[in-house]
Amino acid sequence: MLPEMDAPTLGTQVFLLFLLAMPVACIAWTVTHEEVFREPREYCVRRSRAATGFWERKCFYLFTCEYCFSHWVAVGLLVVTRFTLIYPDWRGYVVSGFSLVWVANFYMSLYGRLRVDIKEERLEIEMDEIRLRRMHAQPATPVALKPRE
**Which sign does the torsion angle of CA 102, 104, 110, 112 carry?**
negative
Between 136 and 14, the higher pLDDT residue: 14
User: Within 10 A of 77 (CB to CB), how many other CB atoms are there?
Assistant: 20
What is the model's pLDDT at position 97? Answer: 95
What is the model's pLDDT at position 140? Answer: 57
pLDDT in tens, 89-122: 999 999 999 999 999 999 999 998 888 888 888 8
* DSSP H or E segment with residue 129: helix 90-137
Distance CA 103, CA 26 (A): 12
Distance CA 84, CA 8 (A): 10
| Three-class DSSP category at 112 | helix
Distances, alpha carbon 40 to alpha carbons 33, 69, 73, 75, in Å: 11, 14, 17, 22
Mean per-residue pLDDT of the chain:
86
What is the model's pLDDT at position 128? Answer: 83
What is the model's pLDDT at position 5? Answer: 61
What is the model's pLDDT at position 135? Answer: 80
Residues in the chain: 149
Parse the chain into domains and list their residue ranges: 10-135
Instruction: Judge whether 25 and 71 are in contact, CB under 8 Å.
Output: no
What is the model's pLDDT at position 34? Answer: 87
pLDDT in tens, 50-81: 888 999 888 888 888 889 999 999 999 999 99
Spatial CA neighbour of 85 closest among 65, 68, 99: 99
